[in-house]
Amino acid sequence: MQRIRLAIIVATLLTVTGCVSNTQPGLYGDSFNQKEAAKTRMSLGLTYLKNNNYTQAKKNLDKALEFDPSSADVHYSLAYYYQLVGDTTRAEESYETAIDLAPGNGDIANSYGAFKCQNGNYQAAKVYFLKAINNRQYANSAQTYENLALCAQSQGNAQEAIDYLKEALNHQPARQKSLLILTEMYMSTEQWEEAKATLRKYEKVANVSPDSLWMAFEIARGQGDRETAKQYGDMLVSVYPESNAAKRYAQAELNEPEVTRTVKADQANNGANTNADSTQNSQQPSPQPKTSNENSKVSTNTPQFHIVKQGENLYRISLMHNIKVATLQNWNNLEDPGAIFAGMKLWLVPVNMQEE
């Protein structure tokens, strides 16, 4: 989320300031336009930032501020610089000044909201996100609703995140990222029908990918439809054999053997069970997802815990460590899979292996 948001800030600021001029002012005469010079210096500073030349970026942004201290865009650019270098105090000051100078600027309000969320101040973030959305001239409401959703998710507010993603899709129904995140959110809360329907919408506007096939596999498995799950898994291995998702599927197959389907077919066709069929049927694993003992055989290479990062959800963490969501819930005594937050210590091993 942070990388995407910062890229949006750069693109927005560069659009506002236009092209960078290579000419630099010397002695100032009557014809020297300080506001235009400030825009040029600001654009140059942002270009240096984009190329990771922080020294030249700061010099040009400071010069822009000298030329036009009343420019909201200059203060906005400085806030972005300070944010990148980790000076949160000065970033806060620059954002506040930019907001004071341009209270109706939706882009600045959206970026300030993202900054607030990044620093764990969800309520303040929400105020500025909504401030951007309520601006009738603001054209990026879908992006801001998505930011709100990611922020709510980082605070463990799963249902609120889902509601904001729905709003994002009301503004931009074919928004691929929002569809994918919403699918993940439904999966993390085990709302399988909603996840399936949302993934279908995503598939209509995006190309098939390892992630989308893995999601289709997980949704079918979550619904207890192992035959369909296997079809998606086999497609994943066939089309993207080197992907991490294909490797996760191969591991999932090892941990959870395929259900024998011949017995079910015999039962459906014959309407009765023979003794042999009954014996085979009793050996079949349940088609419902395991919840308590699954993945109890932990590899010696598995880390004991995971520190939740900004923007992560339980589903993504489960993929990262190849541990099912229900298992993580059980090991961490989580009734709500959305009740995780940035900085939280999440156990990746059973309770009897957890060591403080």
For 82-129, write each residue's pLDDT tens digit.
999 999 999 999 999 999 999 999 999 999 999 999 888 999 999 999
Check residues 7 and 44 and name the one with the higher pLDDT.
44
pLDDT of residue 25: 43
pLDDT of residue 285: 37
3-state SS class at 109: helix
Q: Whose CA is closest to 149, among 131, 164, 129?
A: 164
pLDDT of residue 253: 77
Least trusted range by pLDDT, from 116-130, 157-171, 214-228, 241-255: 241-255
DSSP state of 313: -
Dist CA 137 CA 125 (whole Å): 20
pLDDT of residue 283: 37
- Regarding pTM above 0.75, the answer is no
pLDDT(296) > 50: no
Dist CA 95 CA 113 (whole Å): 10
Dist CA 3 CA 12 (whole Å): 14
pLDDT of residue 108: 96
pLDDT(15) > 80: no
In sequence order, which residues have a C-beta less than 8 Å from that of residue 40 and are 6 or more positions away?
17, 20, 21
pLDDT of residue 30: 59
pLDDT of residue 333: 86
- For 52-77, write each residue's pLDDT tens digit: 999 999 999 999 999 999 999 999 99
pLDDT band at 155 (very low <50, low <70, confident <90, very high): confident
Least trusted range by pLDDT, from 19-33, 110-124, 196-210: 19-33
With beta carbons less than 8 A apart as the criterion, state whether 310 and 342 touch.
yes
The pair phi, psi for residue 214, each rounded to 5°, is -65, -40
Domains within the chain, CATH numbers bracketed? 305-353 (3.10.350.10)
Average pLDDT over the chain, rounded to an integer: 81
pLDDT band at 42 (very low <50, low <70, confident <90, very high): very high
pLDDT(310) > 80: no
**Percent of the chain predicted with pLDDT > 90:** 54
Among all chains, which residue has been given the structure tokens 């054209």? 139
For the chain, the 3-state helix, strand and coil shares in percent, each to the nearest 5, are 65, 0, 35
pLDDT band at 263 (very low <50, low <70, confident <90, very high): very low
CA torsion through residues 130, 134, 140, 146, sign: positive
pLDDT(5) > 60: no
For 178-200, what is the mean pLDDT? 94
121 is written with which tokens?
Answer: 């101040």
pLDDT band at 334 (very low <50, low <70, confident <90, very high): confident
pLDDT band at 302 (very low <50, low <70, confident <90, very high): low
Strands 345-347 and 305-307: antiparallel
pLDDT band at 345 (very low <50, low <70, confident <90, very high): confident
